[in-house]
Structure 1
Amino acid sequence: MKHRRSIELAPPDSHAVEIEKETLSTLPRWYIIHARCRRCRHETSIDRQEIARRYGDDLSLAKLARRLKCQGCGNRSDNVLLLQKLPRD
Structure 2
Amino acid sequence: MKHRRGIGLAPSDHHAVEIDTVTLTTLPQWSVIYACCRACRHQTLIERRELARRCGRDMSLAELAKRLKCQRCGNRFGNLLFLETLPRD
Q: TM-score, normalised by structure 2?
A: 0.82
Q: Hey, what's the Cα distance between the residues in 2 that align with 1:62 and 1:55?
A: 13
- CA gap of 1:13–1:84, structure 2 versus 1, over 3 A, is closer
Matched residue SS, 1:87: coil
Tell me which stretches of 4 or more aligned residues in structure 1 moved more than 4 Å: 11-14
Question: What aligned pairs does 1:46-65 form with structure 2 within 5 A after superposition?
Answer: 46-65=46-65
Compared with structure 1, are the counterparts of its residues 75 and 12 closer, same or farther at alpha carbon in structure 2 (3 Å cutoff)?
Answer: closer
CA 70–63 in structure 1, closer or farther in 2 if over 3 Å, else same: same
- What is the rounded CA distance, in whole Å, between the counterparts of 1:63 and 1:74 in structure 2? 18
Report the RMSD for the aligned CA atoms in angstroms. 1.8
Residue 38 of structure 1: CA displacement? 0.7
Relative to structure 1, the CA distance from residue 45 to residue 12 in structure 2 (aligned partners, 3 Å threshold; closer, same or farther) is closer
Paired residue for 2:35?
A: 35
SS at match of 2:81: strand
Measured in 2, the distance between the counterparts of 1:16 and 1:29 equals: 16
- Which residue matches 1:15? 15
User: What letter corresponds to residue 18 of structure 2 in structure 1?
Assistant: E
Normalized against structure 1, the TM-score is what? 0.82
Residues 40-87 of structure 1 deviation map (CA, whole Å, 9 limit, x = unaligned): 000000001011011111000000000000001000000000100111
Q: Matched residues, percent identical?
A: 63
The alpha-carbon deviation at position 13 of structure 1 amounts to 9.2
**Count of residues paired in the alignment:** 79
Distance in 1, matches of 2:36 and 2:18, equals 19
